[in-house]
Amino acid sequence: MNDDELRQQALDACHGLAAYGLGSGIGGHISLRVPGKELYWTNALDRTFEEMRLEDIVLLDFDGNPVKSDRPISPGIGFHQGIYKLRPDVGAIVHTHGYWITAQSAYGRPLRNLHNLATYFHNATAIAPDDEIESIAPAMKQGDNAIIIPWHGAITMGPSMVEAAALHVTFDYAARLDVQVPADVPLMPEDHARTIQGLLAKANYLKLTWDLMKRKAARGHNGEVVVPQVAA
């Protein structure tokens, strides 16, 4: 993809997350690596995902400095370039303080395997004490696709924004279950979890979820903002 396409995909991610109720407050951020360069696209701090416009998607270098922009950027943006430097396989990152995600993060542990979709994060989740890359780096292993920051929120990541954003709304769903289901409920057996992981990969679930995110965002956009379409 060229820069215009990358920038548009970053905006699509903001709007798709907003449609799922993950973008009503200031503070979340997404990023999309520019292939072959130490640059990435991210969102400005002063607008919510719901309000985001193309001009609110700005380019940063791997030192966290805006390129030809004076827009305010989150002071907590540093882990994005930190992860990109450590994980060449990661092409996109999403971080929010979604209600259910934040509630689950207070437990300071990975999601329980309570549903098929939770298996995406089984043995693929790091727990970092804060959002500084110095804390994330020793906690994160190769292949992890999620990072939980206790009492804060969560990060998801993938080779493209398709995976990173779709994993984030999936994490939010699994977190809602985790928070509400009692502690003594039996967990999915390990062999069953591995079978489900294989089935989800064959079903191309993350790409289909990304497409759904874009459809929801388009339906929810009233010409000014994306109105969340959150299930009760």
Confidence check: pLDDT of 154 > 90 = yes
Position 62 in a domain: yes
- Each residue's pLDDT tens digit, 160-210: 999 999 999 999 999 999 999 999 999 999 999 999 999 998 999 999 999
Which tens digits make up the pLDDT trace of 112-149? 999 999 999 999 999 999 999 999 999 999 999 999 99
pLDDT at 229: 85
232 has a pLDDT exceeding 60: no
pTM: 0.96
Residue 191 placed within a domain: yes
Please indicate, yes or no, if residue 228 is contained in any of the structural domains: no
225 lies in some domain: no
Residue 167 contacts residue 96 (beta carbons within 8 Å): no
Q: Is 130 domain-assigned?
A: yes
| Average of per-residue pLDDT values in the chain | 95
Mean local confidence (pLDDT), 42-56 = 96
Residue 82: CATH number of its domain: 3.40.225.10
Q: Is residue 226 part of a domain?
A: no
What's the rounded Cα separation, in Å, for the pair 5 and 76? 25
Cα–Cα separations (whole angstroms), residue 63 to 66, 77, 174: 9, 10, 33
pLDDT bucket at 8, cuts 50 / 70 / 90: very high
Q: Higher confidence at residue 212 or residue 232?
A: 212
pLDDT tens-digit map of 59-87: 999 999 999 889 999 999 999 999 999 99
Q: Residue type for 84, please?
A: Y
Residue whose C-alpha is closest to residue 123's, from 110, 139, 108, 137: 110
Indicate the residue type of 179. V
What average pLDDT does this structure show over 77-100?
97
Question: Would 227 be classed as within a structural domain?
Answer: no
For residues 33-40, give the mean pLDDT.
97
Domain membership flag for residue 170: yes
Residue range(s) defining the domain that contains residue 26? 3-220
pLDDT, tens only, 158-169: 999 999 999 999
Q: How many distinct structural domains can be found in the chain?
A: 1
Q: Is 182 exposed, middle or buried (0-12, 13-18, 19+ CB in 10 A)?
A: exposed
Nearest to 59 by CA among 33, 85, 84, 25: 33
